[in-house]
Structure 1
Amino acid sequence: MNDKAAHLDQTNALLAEIARTHLGLPTLEERRSDSLDFHDLAVWSVKAALEAAFEAGRRAAKEG
């Protein structure tokens, strides 16, 4: 696996973790079912997820 693919895998894993932790979503994969792919979310959950993603990007920029 090349560096770009490894970075993409890492990013996808981080986004999936943020989705699980802050949004209660078990997966970010499309499952082709409205009841599985559409969710009602509280705005504070969305805000927390966005803050976590922003902080992850900020940390990555400092490291890289």
Structure 2
Amino acid sequence: MARRKNTDPTAQRDAQLLEIAQRQFHLETLETRNWDRLDFHDVAVWAIRAALEEAFEAGRRAGVATVPSETRP
């Protein structure tokens, strides 16, 4: 049985943010777990920058994908 593609934009965004957080910060989840050891992390500035760049590029690509082709340069 083929899996249906998730079409909820919020769920897609959240999934992409989690993927970035897992890659860049090695986090298991972005959910609050109400335990300081699990909710607060020391993160290097270069990792923050890499995650922000990755998120920015993902947003840029998503924006281009939603622009009708006749209005693209």
TM over 0.5: yes
Greater radius of gyration (CA): 2
Counterpart of 2:64 in structure 1 is: 62
1:19 matched residue in structure 2: 21
Give the deviation of 1:23 after TM superposition: 1.2
> 1:21 Cα shift?
0.3
Matches within 5 A, 1:23-62: 23-62=25-64
Greater relative contact order (Cα 8 A, min sep 6): structure 1 or 2?
1
Query: Which ranges of structure 1 fall in alignment gaps of 5 or more residues?
Result: none
SS of the residue corresponding to residue 42 of structure 2 reads: coil
TM-score under structure 1 normalisation?
0.90
Please, which runs of 5 or more residues in structure 2 have no aligned partner?
1-6, 67-73
Q: How many residues align?
A: 60
| Mapped partners of 1:34, 1:12: distance in 2 | 22
Structure with bigger helix share is 1
Alignment correspondent of 1:6: 8
Q: CA deviation at 1:28?
A: 0.2
TM-score normalized with structure 2 length: 0.79
What RMSD over aligned residues (CA atoms) do the two structures have, in Å? 1.0
- Rounded to whole Å, the distance in 2 between the matches of 1:38 and 1:53 is 20
